[in-house]
Structure 1
């Protein structure tokens, strides 16, 4: 039987007494109904869906030692104002508060009701987080990665400041990344006019070359289902693993749980009508390009693309598939094509704006504050060493490399 935790009053200086209450859930099952309802009413990104983070927790979070501290802030009428997918993880003897989602989640945020964020003065957010700490289990430091500076409302596209970025001490410790996003417009013809004409002409030429290579055998599947979906996800994993090895990057699919996450989420939420979309370019029986993505609100998220190399590399097969997915997104009425985190060169050819993301950590207990202060000192020392030729050469010699 699902049992919801009792709501507790949350007193925040500067806000009306009795206006807020808070619940902290320690199980997915207890939180699911209220979490999924909040998805519909609140601003947020696809990475804050219950299904996304529930799959992550079951396949990866539990393995990594995460305990749930899912936090819901409500008004006096029990309407959800914020839903924060907090979790706690032990690291190096410290209790670390963070957001669920780990490496698979590009944007870490909360679900945020527009009415709430409009009524809270900016200067009250630090006091809000100080008050909320008393409702959470004890922790030594908070560590938040890749948190958007703004959160988008699903229906209207209105952007709101992300309250997490007002955590005490956060702004002084920001490290910023960026995601790339393309505004789609009303037609693919209009979209092309705002991008490189040469790129689209070359994509059409490559598609013709593939059709000449295999007459009648070139096929693009946009929303795969069943056994075909399973085969495409397996091909995507193989293609991504090869590319990671080629570039010297970490192959996450070699670790337990990661491929299970993508396979399981596609099986549960994919198919022709699902919000997970698995796509592929076939030439004959060969799956030469793949993509695992998702739709949420006005956005389509380009998340896990893969492609075959070798002889197929001369045909730009990844771009041929991406071109087809973008056309499909415009036809289905999406406003934004979100290329997510990363500075790969191809993203600049498609995107027309960016989303800034902040990562930070802040100490809470004396132990947490000490660890954070030490890390900042070490980072500052490394930066100084990089700018000092003598120190840089000493580090290279100690590493067995020739001085610069």
Structure 2
């Protein structure tokens, strides 16, 4: 490593150092004044915010999971009380935090709407406010959020937030946080599919695809299908629920898609789309077999799109049909290759460390949880969340311990 020394005449003078310090203090003071001038309101309904909400969500940096249509589908299905935080400055909306109140054992937790089924959360921030994120005074920001939620929540728990997303630092990064036990995995798209594959072990992946194709053709053939009608899309989602339920049962795990509200929410997303197809809440894809297994579905996935960002929400396979073809992996190849040339920049496999994700995704993104107590009860609950989250993270990076914990979970049911 080389170092460079400045000539004595080039050394920064005390005056310059003092000037830099003064500018830094002025910037901090300016942001504190701006924070003091924020007008924060809390809304118990989405409709009054729709115009401002949709204007903020146009920014590619805002997650699909905070989009108006995504949240509206969840609110319609679950009917939980809302405490949506909106901030304005100089008459302009600068951020919206789409928050609902989840009550459990006397604790009122303010969480992102649909947090249980979100792979990435950002909140909704005006670009000017987001760009100033590094100079936001964390203590003042936290204090304003606490004040806004007093009487409504005991704990503000905003989960699965990347500290930096697509080159922009999160304005939430200065709040009290703990690293989430789960990471997310992404595949950046390059202009051509072959270029995208070069980010991976392209030779092995192409070889695997050829082997899968030959086995599927030997069994009678296949077709990759994106159902065109709403009725077909809804029907395929119901088939996914059945396949996933059988999979969870075989593992002795709880079925996170089993409750009526979650199924209603996901069905509601299918019809949320714009005319340009640059936004859709949920779109179902499948590998359907021919020949001996004519009409049977070997693999299903559900993806969402906002702008140039695709998120894979879930997938399932029929484990009794041609398991040696790895139909789930084969479906990802078809989906990813088919999306090239359609304005997609990023394919997101979402949360959870799984082998197939690592094989497809060269980018791994750590997520964090904002843990901000609002009441004394929230202080205790926040400490418990930190402890549990760190414990899960400790277990997940130790394969033998993780396998042991999964076995216990399966036995408990």
Compute the displacement of 1:280 (Å). 0.9
| Contact in 1 for aligned 2:156/2:374 (Cα 8 Å) | yes
| Contact in 2 for aligned 1:363/1:372 (Cα 8 Å) | yes
Partner of 1:8: none
Question: 1:82-122 CA distances to partner (integer Å, 9 max, x unpaired)?
Answer: 11112223332233222211311122331112211223543
Partner of 1:198: 204
Compute the displacement of 1:201 (Å). 1.7
Compute the displacement of 1:348 (Å). 0.8
Partner of 1:300: 310
2:264 paired with 1:254: no
Question: 1:156-214 CA distances to partner (integer Å, 9 max, x unpaired)?
Answer: xxx222233322xx23x444421001112111112223322222222123223322322
| Contact in 2 for aligned 1:24/1:69 (Cα 8 Å) | yes
Mapping 1:1-400, distance limit 5 Å: 14-16=32-34, 19-41=37-59, 43-60=61-78, 62=79, 66-76=80-90, 78-122=91-135, 124-138=137-151, 139-152=153-166, 159-167=167-175, 170-171=176-177, 173-196=178-201, 197-214=203-220, 218-222=222-226, 224-269=228-273, 273=277, 275=280, 276-284=282-290, 285-373=295-383
Sort the Cα spacing of 1:187 and 1:240 in 2 relative to 1 into closer, same or farther, 3 A. Answer: same
Q: Partners of 1:18 and 1:370 in 2: how far apart?
A: 29
Sort the Cα spacing of 1:300 and 1:354 in 2 relative to 1 into closer, same or farther, 3 A. Answer: same
Q: Partners of 1:23 and 1:332 in 2: how far apart?
A: 39
| Contact in 1 for aligned 2:87/2:96 (Cα 8 Å) | yes
Question: 1:9-59 CA distances to partner (integer Å, 9 max, x unpaired)?
Answer: xx9972347753233221122222221122114731111111111111221
Aligned with 2:33: secondary structure? coil
| Contact in 2 for aligned 1:181/1:336 (Cα 8 Å) | yes
Q: Partners of 2:286 and 2:269 in 1: how far apart?
A: 17
How many equivalent pairs are there? 362
Q: Partners of 2:391 and 2:57 in 1: how far apart?
A: 43
Q: Partners of 1:252 and 1:272 in 2: how far apart?
A: 32
Q: Partners of 1:383 and 1:233 in 2: how far apart?
A: 32
Q: Partners of 1:177 and 1:382 in 2: how far apart?
A: 9
Partner of 1:4: none
Q: Partners of 1:374 and 1:129 in 2: how far apart?
A: 20
Partner of 1:6: none
Q: Where has structure 1 moved over 4 Å in runs of 4 or more?
A: 373-384
- In angstroms, what is the RMSD of aligned CA positions? 3.1
Compute the displacement of 1:380 (Å). 8.9
Q: Which runs of 5+ in 2 are unaligned?
A: 1-28, 395-400, 409-413
Q: Which runs of 5+ in 1 are unaligned?
A: 1-10, 153-158, 385-391, 400-404
Q: Partners of 1:328 and 1:82 in 2: how far apart?
A: 35
In the superposition, the TM-score normalised over structure 1's length comes to 0.80
Compute the displacement of 1:270 (Å). 8.7
Q: Partners of 1:288 and 1:146 in 2: how far apart?
A: 31
Q: Partners of 1:97 and 1:377 in 2: how far apart?
A: 19
Q: Partners of 2:35 and 2:260 in 1: how far apart?
A: 48
In the superposition, the TM-score normalised over structure 2's length comes to 0.78
| Contact in 2 for aligned 1:224/1:271 (Cα 8 Å) | no
Q: Partners of 2:338 and 2:389 in 1: how far apart?
A: 45
Q: Partners of 1:271 and 1:290 in 2: how far apart?
A: 24
Sort the Cα spacing of 1:121 and 1:314 in 2 relative to 1 into closer, same or farther, 3 A. Answer: closer
Compute the displacement of 1:223 (Å). 5.5
Compute the displacement of 1:381 (Å). 10
Q: Partners of 1:305 and 1:272 in 2: how far apart?
A: 25
